[in-house]
Amino acid sequence: MIRPILKYGEGVLHEKARPVEALTPEIDTLINDMIETMYAAPGVGLAAPQVGEALRIFVVDISVGQDPNGLIVLVNPEFVERDGMQLEDEGCLSVPTFNATVVRPARAVIKGLDRQGAEQRHEATGLLARAFQHEMDHLDGTLFVDRLRGIKRDLIVRKIRKLTRAGRW
Ligand code: NI
């Protein structure tokens, strides 16, 4: 089932998500919904808080469904290593129509559980490393806008407030 994607300003997006304690059928359904919602958007990643669930789960597919092995589901993910630096334009399904250059580490090693509960580990560079870090941020209540500084962030926040007041957000 495609779920509505919450937008900047919704409480759950700005809170720390809690770990998943058991891979229940409800969690399995949530993961299916997240995958479907990500592909429908379309987007390269989606975290559970974006569909209103304050749980530490995200899905990523930088091929947006083109690569049959491209889909990664991570439950209770943690960074093992991060190094280097990359500067690229970034957006978010929860902050539609806005994007900005965000500083991220160039490489990331991440571990977590897959949807069957098996430990998995991924080493990533470039866009995949960026996607991991963007989705991990969601699990801690941080959106890319929060990573910007000064006028760049103020400009986006002001525009979002204006759209919200106009009932267009
Ligand atoms: Ni996002």
Average confidence (pLDDT) over 73-84? 98
Please give the structure tokens belonging to residue 130.
């960026």
Q: Amino acid identity of 79?
A: F
Please give the structure tokens belonging to residue 153.
């962030």
Our measurement of the distance from residue 62's CA atom to the centroid of its chain's CA atoms, rounded to an integer in Å, reads 12
Alpha-carbon distance of 156 to 37, in angstroms, equals 25
**Cα-to-centroid distance, 103 and ligand 1 (Å):** 15
pLDDT (0 to 100) of residue 71? 98
Give 79's strand partners. 110
Alpha-carbon distance of 80 to 51, in angstroms, equals 26
pLDDT (0 to 100) of residue 151? 92
The single-letter DSSP state of residue 167 is T
| Four-residue CA torsion sign, 95, 101, 103, 106 | positive
55 closest CA partner among 79, 19, 3 = 19
Quote the percentage of the chain above a pLDDT of 70.
Answer: 100
**Cα-to-centroid distance, 47 and ligand 1 (Å):** 7
pLDDT for 126-164, tens place per residue?
999 999 999 999 999 999 999 998 899 999 999 999 999
pTM above 0.85, yes or no: yes
Q: What stretches of 4-105 adopt beta strand conformation (E)?
A: 45-47, 57-60, 72-83, 86-91, 99-104
**Cα-to-centroid distance, 91 and ligand 1 (Å):** 7
* Positions marked active-site: 135
133 closest CA partner among 67, 66, 64, 62 = 62
The confidence band for 69, taking pLDDT boundaries of 50, 70 and 90, is very high
Domains of the chain and CATH, by start = 11-165 (3.90.45.10)
**Cα-to-centroid distance, 76 and ligand 1 (Å):** 17
**Cα-to-centroid distance, 59 and ligand 1 (Å):** 11
pLDDT for 25-38, tens place per residue?
999 999 999 999 99
Contact 33, 51 (CB under 8 A): yes
